[in-house]
Amino acid sequence: MPHVEMRTEIIVTPGESTKRLDHFLANRDPYFSRTALQRLILESHITVDGQSVKPSHKIKPGDRIVLTVPRPEPIEIEPEDIPVEVMYEDEVLLVINKTAGLVVHPAPGHWSGTLVNALLHHMVQREGNLSNIGGKERPGLVHRLDKDTTGVMVVAKNDQAHRSLASQFKQHSIKRVYEAVVWEKPKANQGRIALAIGRDTKDRKKFSARTTRPKESLTMYRVLERFGKCASHLELIPGTGRTHQLRVHLNSLNCPILGDATYGGKKVMAVQDIVVPRVMLHAKVLGFVHPATQKELLLQAPLPLDIVGVMEGLRNATSTADRRSTERNEK
C-alpha cells in the first residue's frame, strides 16, 4: 500500500510577528521536530508562496506556506508478555493500574515495551480485541498517563465503548482524583488553579502559560500532609485534561512535583537526602458511567510503594529535624 501524502497549507496571519520559517512551524505544529522541519525545507517539501527557501527565511503576514510530505505507514505493533495489573474487566472494557516507567503507546524511541504491547498480548490470551478508533498505534486507548505516572486507566475493547468513554472525558464528567508529593508547600491548604496553558513557545517539549495557543485549564488541590517546609502531600482534582496540566499547574505555585526534573529542575530529585526515583504523581481514582450497563463504576488504586517510601522518609526526616530543634531550644 503506498504512503499517503500529507499536504498542509498555512496563511500567515496579520498579527504574526516576523520570525524564521523553521521557528514558526515548530511552534505551530509539534508533530515535527525543528531538525525535521529544517530538512523538509531544504528538500523543498516546504515552500513559501510557491518558492523554495532556507530554514532561516523570515516569514511575514500574508505568506502562503505549503508543507507536502509523505506520511509513513503505521507500524505493526507486536503483542509482548508484559505484566499488567487488571483492576476490572468485562466484555467491553478493561481497567488497569499502570506501573511507573511504562510508556503508554509506541512513539519514536519507544517502539516496543509499551502498555499497548502489553494490552495486545493480554487480549490475544483472551481471543479478544481492542477498539480501533485511536488507530493502529493506540488501540483501545481513551486517555493516557505520562511514563512515570502510576494509577488507574480505562481501556476500550470496542468502538462503541470508546466513543462513550471519550465523550465522558470531553464533557469532564469523569471522576478523577490524583495524589502527588510536591516541593515545599502551597500557601493555602486548599484552592483552585485556573491557568490557560499550551505548548511552550521556547521549549516545545514543555507546556506552560507562555504559549501561542492557550487552552483553559483548571485544577483543584487540597493539602493532605505537610513534611515541614520541604515538601507536601496533595490531593488533586483536574477540572480539565490538558497535557502535563497537573505538573504545569503545581509548578505555577512554585511547588513542582518531586522527581519532575522537566518542570522542577535538579532540586526536586532529592529532598532531605532522600532520592526521588521518579515523578511522584499517582492517578488514584477513576469513575465513569459504564458504556453498556449505564451504571457508575468507581475504581481506586492505592499509592504505590515508591511514593509511600518517599513519604515515610520525609516524615522521618521532618520528625528528626523537629526533635533536634526542640532539644536546641531546651538547652
C-alpha cell read off for 126? 483472551
For every residue of the chain, which 3-state class applies, written as one string?
CCCCEEEEEEECCCCCCCEEHHHHHHHHCCCCCHHHHHHHHHCCCEEECCEECCCCCEECCCCEEEEEEECCCCCCCCCCCCCCEEEEECCCEEEEEECCCCCCCCECCECCCCHHHHHHHHHHHCCCCCCCCCCCCCCCECCCCCCCCEEEEEEECCHHHHHHHHHHHHCCCCEEEEEEEEECCCCCCEEEEECCEEEECCCCCCEECCECCCECCEEEEEEEEEECCCEEEEEEEECCCCCCHHHHHHHHCCCCECCCHHHHCHHHHEECCEECCCCCEEEEEEEEECCCCCCEEEEECCCCHHHHHHHHHHHHHHHHHHHHHHHHHHC
Tell me the C-alpha distance between 185 and 94, whole Å.
36
C-alpha of 227 from chain center: 27
Rg (CA), the chain: 23
- Facing residues of 271 across strands? 274
146 is catalytic: yes
Q: Which of 309, 308, 262, 259 is nearest to 284 (CA)?
A: 308
Neighbours of 291 (CB within 10 A): 21
The catalytic position among 29, 63, 90, 146 is 146
Active site residues: 146
